[in-house]
Amino acid sequence: MKIKENSNFYCNSVTEYSRYVTREVMVGDLGIGGSNPIRVQSMTTTDTMNTIATVEQSIRMIEAGCELVRITAPSMNEARNLQNIKDELHKRGYKTPLCADIHFTPNAAELAARIVEKVRVNPGNYADKKKFEHIEYTDTAYDAELERIRERFTPLIKICKENGTAMRIGTNHGSLSDRILSRYGDTPLGMVESALEFLRICEDNGFHQIVLSMKSSNPQVMVQAYRLLINKMEAEGMNYPLHLGVTEAGDGEDGRIKSAVGIGTLLEDGIGDTVRVSLTEEPESEIPVARKLVDRYSNRKQAQSAIVPINDIPYSPFEHKRRKTSEVLNIGGHNVPRVVMDFSNYEKITHADLLPVGYNYSEKLDKWNLSDQACDFIYSKGVIDFKIPGTLGIIVDYNEWKGHPKKERHYPLFILEDFIRAEIKSDSLNFVVVNAADLTSLNANASSLENVVLIIQTDNEHGMVEQRRMFIELMQINSSIPVIIEKNYPGISEERLQLYAATDIGALLIDGFGDGVFIMCDQQINNKAQKSFNSLSFGILQATRTRISKTEYISCPSCGRTLFDLQETTAKIRSRTSHLKGVKIGIMGCIVNGPGEMADADYGYVGTGVGKITLYKGKEVVQRNINSEHAVDALIDLIKQHGDWVEA
């Protein structure tokens, strides 16, 4: 596809898998970008001054498949100790390249660049102290700021050149400088410009051993920023490798879903040269997750079936705008995306079978209680001989439905051909299953498609892209029919299912496509599996911010700066607050980066010293240095004071 001249350019093709080729950067002996495979990396969480603990954790990461180990160097002491860590690793036979992680301390960066193979700098805080100030810059004042940065940053570039050290210019959405925020705002464009300012200084110095990243805890922002970065690099004739990551993704299922939505969406379009999955778990647990995400593309080009090419896309890939659809019953229009669950393997459905999908029946009161994650429809072929909850719809095959067309809140499911021929249809809601080949016929019969919601299916290996092509075609024919995205994942593990579904469905939702999700799998035959499918569906909607049904945790993965047990604390806070739908809580390991990195959290719990926590409401400090023993209670009091608390 020739969309390079197009102002929406961000990848080689939106229909055929094609890796976006960047220049090769050498990190020691490890090539990133060019024709190298997508590299997997992670970061230690130990105190960098504890040489043995850091070496041993690095070895666990390397043994798990980590190809580049990042270690925090907050001051000169830690930067100096990188030499001991490197020596000890070499002594034990591990030559994996190391990367020093730098914030605020150019002198530590300059020292580390002489020791390790790569340094990561954050353009938001390399030469700036964050004061959260809004300053109006004239062009002259802005240029003077850039000159100041040039003076501060050039010595590091020279050291990197002399020592063959690579560099990552790693922008974080949460830690943009006051200068960037004042001119570009808290936007993907601000993130891109933040990196480009530093990148241009490198180019002026003839230094090209650079990798770039655009991380955010919001996958939508993160995806838009990487796409825009490619667009802007192309315009300036640059092609630096890209390090993909979602920051502060959290732990468990949420962390995996959020990471897959962000990283997977970009990988689908061939974007990305190295990946770090940030989980609030041990760093070695991140590696298999990253591997599963990356390995999905090793044979994608050969395995995919052909998809009709597109020369132009009728939407902006740099912003989220939901495709306009008409409301059909409670689907499409301004309704949140709906969740459909598959019960087609159940011969008979009981009250208890609906518990895992959010409906709790009280026999005593003869009443249904709904959770915030109650699914909206179930697809059933079995017997339901009780009064169903008032918010639940039942999807049944057309042949069964036409025997009882008036059955309360039961809706027919057609294949397109049957729908066109059918004499009896629902006068409120008809589901019609279509695949890519059906779209021409759909267009020809557009006038008969009243009260219709499409369920789009694919069995293409490049399935997300084929389904995206279907949405684009619907846009091109000005169709406003709501669409449920269906994906079927037979016979895969639970973790793979989380990652693949979050990638495939998340990528579409990020671009504003989809009025509902319907995940199917041949294991969906018991209530435990139903619970995890339901939770996965709502998790994907939450991660794409298209339907908020639970508390959002923005917790950092922790590093050598962390002075408390972040995993245990996150679990403690989660156990007390997980019922606060829509509230965003940041749990950050350190005061240096935490407040900036927790981005748009409503409340912040930030480590300030050993046993000391500082609490934030938005970006404002409200309680400083409180004893960690009482800090979770104090956080809950704070949530109560601001009216965001409800009893569980």
Report the residue number, 479 or 562, with the smaller CB distance to ligand SF4.
562
Is residue 585 a contact residue for ligand SF4 (CB under 6 A)? no
The most distant pair of C-alpha atoms in the chain lies apart, rounded to whole Å, by 80
Report the residue number, 71 or 474, with the smaller CB distance to ligand SF4.
71
Q: 3-class SS at 207?
A: coil
Is residue 559 a contact residue for ligand SF4 (CB under 6 A)? yes
Is residue 218 a contact residue for ligand SF4 (CB under 6 A)? no
Burial class (CB in 10 A: 0-12, 13-18, 19+), 585: buried
Q: Give the nearest distance from C-beta 127 to ligand SF4 in angstroms.
A: 18
Asked if 294 and 71 touch (Cβ cutoff 8 Å), the reply is: no
Report the residue number, 433 or 632, with the smaller CB distance to ligand SF4.
632
Bridge partner list, 338 = 516
Q: What is the DSSP-derived secondary structure letter of residue 186?
A: S
- Stretch (H or E) spanning 518: strand 516-520
Near ligand SF4 by CB under 6 A, which window of 49-57, 291-299, 360-368, 559-567? 559-567
Is residue 558 a contact residue for ligand SF4 (CB under 6 A)? yes
Instruction: Evaluate the CA torsion angle 28, 32, 36, 38 in order and state its sign.
Output: positive
What is the layout of strands, in order, in the sheet containing 620-627? Answer: 552-555, 584-588, 603-609, 612-617, 620-627
Nearest to 229 by CA among 250, 244, 207, 218: 244
Q: Residues 562, 577, 614, 628: which binds ligand SF4 (CB under 6 A)?
A: 562
Give the Cα separation of 129 and 617 in Å (integer). 21
Is residue 251 a contact residue for ligand SF4 (CB under 6 A)? no
Near ligand SF4 by CB under 6 A, which window of 7-15, 321-329, 420-428, 593-601? 593-601
Helix, strand, coil % (nearest 5) of the chain? 40, 20, 40
Q: Residues 213, 426, 593, 614: which binds ligand SF4 (CB under 6 A)?
A: 593
Nearest to 502 by CA among 532, 453, 536: 536
The residue number with the shortest CB distance to ligand SF4 is 589
Report the residue number, 250 or 557, with the smaller CB distance to ligand SF4.
557
**Exposure on the CB side of residue 436, measured as CA atoms within 13 A:** 19
Two structure tokens written together for 151: 């003076």
Two structure tokens written together for 558: 């922790």
Near ligand SF4 by CB under 6 A, which window of 182-190, 209-217, 505-513, 583-591? 583-591
Q: Give the nearest distance from C-beta 107 to ligand SF4 in angstroms.
A: 18
Is residue 594 a contact residue for ligand SF4 (CB under 6 A)? yes
Q: Which residues of 189-201 are buried (b: 16+ CB within 10 A; e: fewer)?
A: bbbbbbbbbbbeb
Asked if 483 and 515 touch (Cβ cutoff 8 Å), the reply is: yes
Report the residue number, 33 or 557, with the smaller CB distance to ligand SF4.
557
Is residue 556 a contact residue for ligand SF4 (CB under 6 A)? yes
Bridge partner list, 538 = none
Is residue 44 a contact residue for ligand SF4 (CB under 6 A)? no
Binding mask 497-536 for ligand SF4 (x = CB under 6 A): ----------------------------------------
Q: Residues 121, 505, 588, 615: which binds ligand SF4 (CB under 6 A)?
A: 588
Is residue 557 a contact residue for ligand SF4 (CB under 6 A)? yes
Is residue 590 a contact residue for ligand SF4 (CB under 6 A)? yes
Report the residue number, 81 or 562, with the smaller CB distance to ligand SF4.
562
Report the residue number, 349 or 556, with the smaller CB distance to ligand SF4.
556
Q: Residues 19, 168, 561, 584: which binds ligand SF4 (CB under 6 A)?
A: 561
Is residue 449 a contact residue for ligand SF4 (CB under 6 A)? no
Q: Which residues bind ligand SF4 (CB under 6 A)?
A: 556-559, 561-562, 588-590, 592-594, 597
